[in-house]
Structure 1
Amino acid sequence: MTVISIITAVHSGGSRYLRDAYESLVKQELPPGWDWRWCLQEDGDTGEPPATLPADPRISYGTGLPARAGVARTMALTRADGPLIRTLDADDILLPGALQRDISTLERVAWCTSACLDLLPDGTTKPGPYDPEDGPVERGRFYREHGRQRLSVQAVTFAAHTDLVWAVGGWPALTGGETDGLLLAAEAVSNGWFIAEPSLLYRKHDAQTTASSRYWHNAESAARSAAVRRRADALRQAGWAWAPPKRQHTDD
C-alpha cells in the first residue's frame, strides 16, 4: 500500500471542526493501491483534540511544546511515511476527488496547488477571485504575486513529494504565513501545477487565526513576509533544483 500523508496542525480549543475534516478524508476515493494517513499534530500537549475523533488506525496524533502551526506541521511531517504529502487545516473540508487528483498530478511534477471555495458562516460558498488556469505554474509566478500581496491560490491546498518538503526544510517557524513559505520555497527549486478543480472548502469564521487583528500587526506581518521571501530568494540563488524520481517501469 502506498500512502499519501495528510498534514494537519491543531490546538486545544481549535478542534471544533476536526470531525468534519475527518469525515471528508473518509469519503476520499483513491487510486488502487493507495491509502491516506492523517498526521495530526497538536500545537501544545493537552491531548484533548482527538476526543472528537473515532479510533481510526490511519490517524497518527502527536503533541509538543506550543510553537505555532508551522512548527506543528513540521513535527507532523516526521510521521509521514509515504512518498506524498497534502496539507489540510483543522477547520477545512476536502472535496470529493481531491486526493486522487493530487496523486495523479504528482506523477508529473514536484508539487501542486488547487482551487478552493470559501465556506462562509451562512453555509454558502464563493470561489477565489484570482484562480490561475489549470496547468503548469510558471516558475516565480507565486513569488511575484506574494510581493504584490495578491497570491492567487490558497497555499493550504499544497500537495507535494515528501522528500521535496524535507529538502526545503519543511514549514518555516513563523507566527503565520507558513503555508505561503513552503509554497514559495518549493516553487523556487521545482516545477509545479495548478489544479483548477476545487479541492477544498476553506472555512471562514471569526475564530480563525487570520481573522484576528493581532495577526496583522504591521511589523510582525512585514517580518513574516520578509522571511518567506528571503528563503525563496536564497534557494533560487543557490542554483539547485529538485525533481521527482522517475517512475520505474517493468516489462510484463
Structure 2
Amino acid sequence: MPTISVITSVYNGGHHYIDETYQSLREQKLPGDWEWQWCVQEDGHTGIAAAVLPEDPRISIESGLPARVAVARTHALTRATGELIRTLDADDVLLPGALERDIETLERVPWCVSACLDLLQDGSTSPGPRDPLGGPVEPGRFYEEVVENRLSVQTTTFAAHRSLVLALGGWHALTGAEGVALLLAAEVVAPGEFIAEPSLLYRKHPDQTTATGRYWNPEEAATRREAGIQRARAMRAAGWTWS
C-alpha cells in the first residue's frame, strides 16, 4: 500500500495533547488505497508515549537519549516506510483533508508546506498573518525570509518525499529551528509548493517549548537561524539538485 509516514517527537511533559493529535490523524481521509503510518519518538526514556497512546498497528513508538526535537525526529525517520513523510508536533491537530492535500501536491513536487491556524487557549483560532499565495514557491523565497527573520510559514506543516529528507540528512542537529533548516535545504535542491488551505491547528499554550523565555535567548536563537542559512548557502554554492 502507498504510505505517508507522519513523524512526531514527544517528551514527558509535552504529551498532554497527544491524544487529540492521534484522533485528528485517525480522522484523516486518504485518496485511493493510501495509508498512514505514525512514527512517534520519545525524547527520553520515560515511556510516556507508549503509556498514553493506544495500541494501533499503524503506530511505531520508540525512545532514546534526550537530545531535543531534531534528533528525535531523525531517529523516527529511520522507521518510516512510506514514500512520503509529514511532520506533526505532539500538541497540534491535523485538519480534515490535510494529508490528502499533501499527497496530491507531492505528486507534482518533492516538498510542500501549508497554511495553519493558531489554536488559542480559549479555543478560538487565528490565521497566519503573512501566508504566501497558494502554488509554487518562488526559489529562494523562504531563504530570504529567514535572513530577514520573518519566515511566513510554520515548518511543522512540512511534507516531502522521504528520499529527499534522507538525502538532506534529516533534521539539522540544533536546539530549535530544525524544521527551518530542513526547509531551507529542501528549497535549495528542489521545487516546492505552498498549500493555502490550512492543514493544522497550531496549539499555543504556556507549556510549549517555544513559549519559554530561555528558548528565545537572542544569541542562541541567532545561532540556530544562522546554521540553517549557512548550510543553504553552502548547498547552493555546490550546485547540487535533487530529482
User: TM-score, normalized by length of structure 1?
Assistant: 0.95
Whichever residue aligns with residue 103 of structure 2, its letter is I
Post-superposition Cα deviations, 1:82-137, rounded to whole Å, max 9, x if no partner, equal: 10000000000000000000000000001000000000000000000000011000
Looking at structure 1, the residues matched to 171 and 177 of structure 2 have their Cα atoms a distance apart, in angstroms, of: 9
* Runs of 5+ unmatched residues, structure 2: none
Whichever residue aligns with residue 164 of structure 2, its letter is L
- Structure 2 partner of 1:183: 183
Looking at structure 2, the residues matched to 9 and 49 of structure 1 have their Cα atoms a distance apart, in angstroms, of: 10
- Structure 1 partner of 2:134: 134
Contact 2:49–2:61 (8 Å) recurs in 1: no
Post-superposition Cα deviations, 1:222-252, rounded to whole Å, max 9, x if no partner, equal: 1111111111111111101112xxxxxxxxx
Looking at structure 2, the residues matched to 168 and 32 of structure 1 have their Cα atoms a distance apart, in angstroms, of: 29
- Structure 1 partner of 2:33: 33
User: Partner of 2:64: helix, strand, or coil?
Assistant: coil
Whichever residue aligns with residue 48 of structure 1, its letter is I
- Structure 1 partner of 2:165: 165
- How much does 1:33 deviate? 1.4
User: Partner of 1:142: helix, strand, or coil?
Assistant: helix
Whichever residue aligns with residue 135 of structure 1, its letter is G
User: TM-score, normalized by length of structure 2?
Assistant: 0.99
Whichever residue aligns with residue 153 of structure 1, its letter is V
Looking at structure 2, the residues matched to 52 and 190 of structure 1 have their Cα atoms a distance apart, in angstroms, of: 38
Contact 1:13–1:49 (8 Å) recurs in 2: no
- Structure 1 partner of 2:122: 122
Whichever residue aligns with residue 80 of structure 2, its letter is A
- Structure 2 partner of 1:101: 101
- How much does 1:12 deviate? 1.1
Residues 1-252 of structure 1 mapped to structure 2, 5 A cutoff: 1-243=1-243
Looking at structure 2, the residues matched to 33 and 234 of structure 1 have their Cα atoms a distance apart, in angstroms, of: 40
Contact 2:43–2:66 (8 Å) recurs in 1: yes
Percent identity, please.
65
User: Partner of 1:89: helix, strand, or coil?
Assistant: coil
- Structure 2 partner of 1:249: none
The runs of at least 4 aligned residues of structure 1 exceeding 6 Å deviation read none
